[in-house]
Structure 1
């Protein structure tokens, strides 16, 4: 499949990057090129695309935001080497959090990647920015039959757990409780057991932690 070239002039000219994030880029490029059929050029272009899309946004940890989708893609690689799933992992937040549209993703990456991104972020809302409440979200996920979506949603949750220390303990406990009550059972239901033990360990540590 031939992909169209990127035109990122309309995206942010200010990007948040650090020596650490640049090192993460190089590590991820090497991992993806050696483990999938993605070319080095495609991986580099996609990282640049999400970097420009997320611009100067910083996570609570102080890291550039684009390190999150890179982290998610790295985790997903432990479960699948599927190119479309890896690309969707890198792109999973751009439609929800930036000016990039689902139509642009489809134009650049094709229907399958756009479909996965849509399912992960908007559950077939076709780019309209609206939020489902927690029960609606969980009901839809419980009926999700696409393992690619399952892998990305769980990897997203695991990366957020791994980087949760920057949040207030109250928020940590809320996220840990949600993980224990929904995401871990959902993971087991879909027979994705790779990350269950780590998620349980992190959540138990948080839930057993005493306020300072």
Structure 2
């Protein structure tokens, strides 16, 4: 028998939680193990219930979802987190992704897509496609960079070998593994190996964070040589 995905719902609106329970409760492979009304409750609930995935609202009282995401992802054995939001290009969404959230879904997303998102992150895949990642960076990140952030990003990327850095930049441009393979004349399995090495070397959670780091370093606009 397939093990169910343990899911924690976090939202300050009880009607939203009830709606999510109704939508997700029908999925045979998803087990809603608990609910929380704010980030503080979420931190406690994760400790007690050990969910695989947390569906996390951003704007909540007491402790907001962004702070809770940052604290949870800093813990060893952290659950995957999918951010719930009403805005698709929001600075807080970007901060949640930097903190290690696996992606975001809009609150008006069709039920089947929310179920699919939970399944994807439980399987270790980010919710966001490379193209959507690039769109988010374009809409939001253009106003948020600082010289300090760029310097830190360049230092981190300097740990990579030349080929790994090329792959990181391609991920940041929104290329799929197949597109990277064609562009850099390597096989798709080799691209996957490079991505895995990049994640391990830089202690990142997913390719969304690779894209954000490449952006921060200034590599997506032709600047910021880290070689």
TM-score (norm 2): 0.30
Higher Rg: 2
TM-score (norm 1): 0.31
Where is the helix percentage greater, Structure 1 or Structure 2? 1
Where is the strand percentage greater, Structure 1 or Structure 2? 2
